[in-house]
Structure 1
Amino acid sequence: MAGPGWAPPRLDGFILTERLGSGTYATVYKAYAKKDTREVVAIKCVPKKSLNKASMENLLTEIEILKGIQHPHIVQLKDFQWDSDNIYLIMEFCAGGDLSRFIHTRRILPEKVARVFMQQLASALQFLHERNISHLDLKPQNILLSSLEKPHLKLADFGFAQHMSPWDEKHVLRGSPLYMAPEMVCQRQYDARVDLWSVGVILYEALFGKPPFASRSFTEVEEKIRSNRVIEDFFAHPWVDLEHMPSGESLARATALVVQAVEKDQDGDAAAALSLYCKALDFFVPALHYEVDAQRKEAIKAKVGQYVSRAEELKAIVSSSNQALLRQGTSARDLLREMARDKPRLLAALEVASAAMAKEEEAGGEQDALDLYQHGLGELLVLLAAEPPGRRRELLHTEVQNLMARAEYLKEQVKMRESRWAAESLDKEGLSESVRSSCTLQ
């Protein structure tokens, strides 16, 4: 806070109070609208005398970009004004402070919390990149939180943002060195993908409490991050899982899958029906997170309970059928082991698969069994590709197919159990959001 004699600037229609933060060109204040609503806002005050040509262009670009977009995870620019001394950006107020403070007061964030934040950040970035906008200064200090009780991430501070097509290249150095991509730091030439590097650094800081390239000098930063590794397809990554992010579409997608599940169930295809019910649950849980109306929320929960019960019945039917198939394949499996005696690696992989089957029989052993299946199948698929034609290859091919089907079935059971736990935890945690009234239940 400022010392004696300090006072915020005056702006028609608002009462400016405490200072929230300040930077090279701007100071941000908490403010109240004088209108009847007494709306709380954040006002970014930029003294005109602090602006040179480049910073004025950045400010105008920031206003242009923010006025033209609206997204639940991008801080909203409500209006902007100016007088003889200052330019004022009237922004959405975020009571939770910034992500940097949020991380450091907790030391590290649990992976589940970090994942939700990454989903929200990915959603905002995908929205921007689809409109050929790059932020170019992603860092925890520029990511705000709606509140501390139920924090929702809001991407802020677009002072360095640019309109950039994916193939555009720039060379002006922008942003903060700790979060800059190698091509910005080392080559001074970059494109829109630099935002994704910054996301990776932010995720690392959230999970480990400090950025991966913390350094004492710019030269040290440059040495640490110099690399030619390719950035993965972030938006499609299963850990980010944007597909199942809570949204107004979650309930509709869950309902559509249930319709298909019921059709398969009526046709007597228990395995397909079970798979569809499990996929529906993956969308019902986000729908419950997104729902704000208590009555509709209870209606969704009741429906989910019915679908879980039917899925459990189908699980018993499919499990019985799978066990029968496993027993029928015993003789072929024994023959394959006998034929693998001169192949230690193949024999070891088959033993891992056997251990997976044994673990599957244990109560609560699904996840351990799934891990073993995945490990064993990884080996068996490599060996199958190298196996010459013949009886052993035929047996191995059949065994791999059976194991893959079994692993896929188990994966769905684990997901169904996790979805059920997540739905039950909503009652305990009191989590809620909103869903559109146009969504209907089957």
Structure 2
Amino acid sequence: MATSSVKQPKLNGFVFTEKLGSGSYATVYKAYRKGQQREVVAIKCVLKSSLSKNSVENLLTEIEILKRIRHEHIVELKDFQWDDSYIYLIMEYCSGGDMSHFIRTKQALPERTVRVFVRQIASALHHLQSENITHMDLKPQNLLLSNSYDPVLKLADFGFASYMTEDVLANTLRGSPLYMAPEIILERKYAAKVDLWSVGVIMFECLFGHAPFASKTFTELAEKIRSSKPIEIPDAIPISDRCRDLLLKLLQRDPGDRIDFPEFFEHPFIDLQHFPCAESLEKAKSLVVQAVEKDTSGDTKAAIQLYCESLQYFLPAIQFERDAQKKDVLRSRVQEYMVRAEDLKQMMKPKSQPVVQIPDSSSQDEKQLPDVFLLDKLANGHRNLQIALEVAHEAELQDAKENYEAAFRIYQDSLEQLIPILQHEPNGRRRETLHNEVQRYMARAEVVKQFLDVRRIPLKQDSINEVLRPDRNKNGKFLSSS
């Protein structure tokens, strides 16, 4: 902290305004860059005289990391300068403040909003992992928000960051106790997965308004961490199964039991593959071009699959887009592709089979009987065949009622019984008739299966509804990112 004997920070080319925050050796100010553009920045002013040897090393690591990293969800270091008293880190300005203030204001955040923020943290961690960088001090105070009305989260304060892989252990205490992984506090040795514990604590606090080990003293905190009692998820606020599953996998005291980074990025609550980013739209366009080609050529099943896959990238592309008019254009396209995919699904719906009328007289000549009834007649005295045919008739009944899941399952059951019977049936009229019926059941079962396959292709309707009809925030503005 600056004292009366140390001059106040002042940097040529900038006008300092309000103080944004301060720590043990640095103060952060909002500032304007002089000139016509008057760019707003945040300047972290580090008092040289307050730096220990470790603090100098941490600061140099922070500068080195931020100089080489560019990512939408990591605060940008624009420049750094120094004079006799201070080192100045000129940073991207985030007008929304930090996540800690955001949580205090809202008390608890809806799961939908929490998912957006945690996915943004995951995106930043994925980039850091590719560089073997561990943040080591993830907490709400170090998560900045670009603005207060449509916030984008930014990881900040890399003062404790370290180059580390999951196989490299360290032995220095880093981070803030409430968000530290248990292995740091209890064993003083740890690996990169400490960041995942911190994500779990942040996620818990966002959902329920307090950290899982909230304590008044460090001693109390350490006791809670040492306890073998499983972390309890409050029941007062309902959360989805996928949210609960991720939370429990992150908040494992034993790092060996904790989810690892690849599983974290692939977890359904995160689904980083379909995270909104600059590449989302290009991936969507590529897939929809292929879908149209398959649609035109008559390959309906492949077209449906590709339309649905494209939607999984169009939706994040809408979320990523900041221009309102472009968002509306994308929403319109998504609706068109949704309608086309559903139309194609309906086109593959099995056509109703004509009802075969049983002849009026049981003495009707066998040559005039349809195979389905002839086979019933020929099956007299063959108990296994009669049972198998009853199963097949039930499949057709469910098929006619459009209970396709049940129909397909029963078709399979009937064929499992009929095919061995056919294989052992001697040549003759019954074998020929049975062969024809088996072929008919197999063909119909395949038609039903194809329809079930395309019907199961996900359109992620809940995600579509979120994007096409976004909720409004309390100020009446769309909070499209949450």
TM-score range, shorter chain: 0.7 to 0.9
Question: Where does residue 303 of structure 1 map in the other structure?
Answer: 333
- 421-430 vs 50-59, which moves further: 421-430
Shift of 1:109: 0.8
Question: Where does residue 465 of structure 2 map in the other structure?
Answer: 421
Contact 1:289 1:431 (8 Å CA) reproduced: no
Question: Where does residue 350 of structure 2 map in the other structure?
Answer: 321
CA 1:294/1:145 → structure 2, altered by over 3 Å: closer, same or farther? closer
Question: Where does residue 259 of structure 2 map in the other structure?
Answer: 231
Is 1:79 aligned to 2:107, yes or no? no
Is 1:252 aligned to 2:282, yes or no? yes
Shift of 1:296: 4.7
* Offset from partner CA, 1:61-120 (integer Å, 9 cap, x none): 111111111111111111112222221111111100000110111011111111111111
CA 1:314/1:403 → structure 2, altered by over 3 Å: closer, same or farther? closer
Query: Identity over aligned residues, as a percent?
Result: 53
* Offset from partner CA, 1:253-307 (integer Å, 9 cap, x none): 1122223323333444433322321221111122222334566545434433332
CA 1:59/1:205 → structure 2, altered by over 3 Å: closer, same or farther? same
Give the distance between the partners of 1:71 and 1:289, measured in 2 at CA.
17
Report the structure number with the largest CA radius of gyration: 2
* Offset from partner CA, 1:29-86 (integer Å, 9 cap, x none): 1111122221111111111121111111111111111111111111111111222222
Contact 1:143 1:153 (8 Å CA) reproduced: yes
CA 1:333/1:181 → structure 2, altered by over 3 Å: closer, same or farther? farther
Question: Where does residue 44 of structure 1 map in the other structure?
Answer: 44
Question: Where does residue 152 of structure 1 map in the other structure?
Answer: 152
Give the distance between the partners of 1:137 and 1:407, measured in 2 at CA.
49
Provide the secondary structure at the position in 1 that maps to 2:314: helix
| Between structures 1 and 2, the one with greater helix share | 1
AA aligned to 1:265 is D
Question: Where does residue 14 of structure 1 map in the other structure?
Answer: 14
Question: Where does residue 234 of structure 2 map in the other structure?
Answer: none
Provide the secondary structure at the position in 2 that maps to 1:91: strand
CA 1:185/1:402 → structure 2, altered by over 3 Å: closer, same or farther? farther
Gap regions ≥5 residues in structure 2:
227-252, 354-386, 410-415, 421-441
Over aligned residue pairs, what C-alpha RMSD do you find? Answer: 3.6
Give the distance between the partners of 2:390 and 2:20, measured in 1 at CA.
71
CA 1:332/1:221 → structure 2, altered by over 3 Å: closer, same or farther? farther
* Offset from partner CA, 1:368-406 (integer Å, 9 cap, x none): xx9xx9xxxxxx9xxxxxxxxx97xx9xxx9xx999988
Is 1:114 aligned to 2:143, yes or no? no
Contact 2:114 2:206 (8 Å CA) reproduced: yes
Give the distance between the partners of 2:448 and 2:177, measured in 1 at CA.
48
Shift of 1:26: 1.1
* Offset from partner CA, 1:296-322 (integer Å, 9 cap, x none): 54543443333222112113224x339
User: 4+ residue stretches of structure 1 with deviation over 4 A?
Assistant: 292-299, 331-336, 401-411, 426-433
CA 1:249/1:221 → structure 2, altered by over 3 Å: closer, same or farther? same
Contact 1:45 1:88 (8 Å CA) reproduced: yes
Note the 1:378-417 alignment, pairs <5 A. Answer: 412=457, 415=460, 417=461
Provide the secondary structure at the position in 1 that maps to 2:150: coil
Contact 2:137 2:160 (8 Å CA) reproduced: yes
Give the distance between the partners of 2:76 and 2:91, measured in 1 at CA.
6
Shift of 1:200: 1.0
Is 1:31 aligned to 2:31, yes or no? yes
Give the distance between the partners of 2:324 and 2:208, measured in 1 at CA.
37
AA aligned to 1:250 is S
Give the distance between the partners of 2:109 and 2:480, measured in 1 at CA.
21
Give the distance between the partners of 1:99 and 1:223, measured in 2 at CA.
27
Provide the secondary structure at the position in 2 that maps to 1:175: coil
Contact 1:46 1:88 (8 Å CA) reproduced: yes
AA aligned to 2:330 is I
CA 1:164/1:214 → structure 2, altered by over 3 Å: closer, same or farther? same
* Offset from partner CA, 1:400-438 (integer Å, 9 cap, x none): x999988875654551x33542342259765779xxxxx
